Amino acid sequence: MIYRILLVLLFFSSCKESSNVAHQESTLYKEVMEVHDKVMPELSTMHAIRRDLKAIERPNSKDIIFSQIKALDEADEAMMTWMADFKLPEDKTNENAYLEAEKIKISNVSDMMYSSIKNGKQMLDSLKAINTK
């Protein structure tokens, strides 16, 4: 009896694993993960920019520095939220629609992150240029 239960459990767990493999082999899944994998390492860039901005003590630029730090924080939070919410559907009938929507979401997160990095770097460069004059 115990062997039958173990066999049934093994069967169901192997079905779930093969289902996950099928998800991960789909072209659309790979496209979503490609966007994620490209932008994910940029979190360290964002953290470095945030740290550098926080270290600048310029009373007359405090509000604009704060708004840039906020943009970096929002982009960071968008990535964390996307990762927490991303779950492949068990029902394969909705998989393509789900992955299409997730591709759009992660692309938006990517755009948000790259924009905040670009703007943060520009701000740091301009503040450093002012300090050297």
Domain region containing 43: 26-132
Whether 21 maps to a domain, the answer reads no
Whether 100 maps to a domain, the answer reads yes
Please give the pLDDT value at position 7.
38
% of the chain with per-residue pLDDT over 90: 62
Whether 45 maps to a domain, the answer reads yes
User: Hey, is 133 helix, strand or coil?
Assistant: coil
Whether 102 maps to a domain, the answer reads yes
Whether 10 maps to a domain, the answer reads no
Report the number of distinct structural domains present in the chain. Answer: 1
Please give the pLDDT value at position 23.
55
CA angle 46, 120, 104 (to 5 degrees): 60
HSE, side-chain direction, 13 A CA sphere, residue 114: 10
CA separation for the pair 99, 30 (Å, rounded): 10
Whether 114 maps to a domain, the answer reads yes
Whether 62 maps to a domain, the answer reads yes
CA-to-CA separations, 58 to 38, 47, 106, 116, 131, in angstroms, rounded: 34, 20, 35, 20, 10
Whether 13 maps to a domain, the answer reads no
Position 33 pLDDT exceeds 90: yes
Please give the pLDDT value at position 105.
98
Quick one: average pLDDT of 30-50? 97
Global pTM value: 0.77
Q: What is the pLDDT of residues 53-64, one digit of tens each?
A: 999 877 778 888
User: Hey, is 85 helix, strand or coil?
Assistant: helix
84: CB partners within 8 A, 6+ apart:
none
106: CB partners within 8 A, 6+ apart:
32, 35, 36, 39, 82, 86
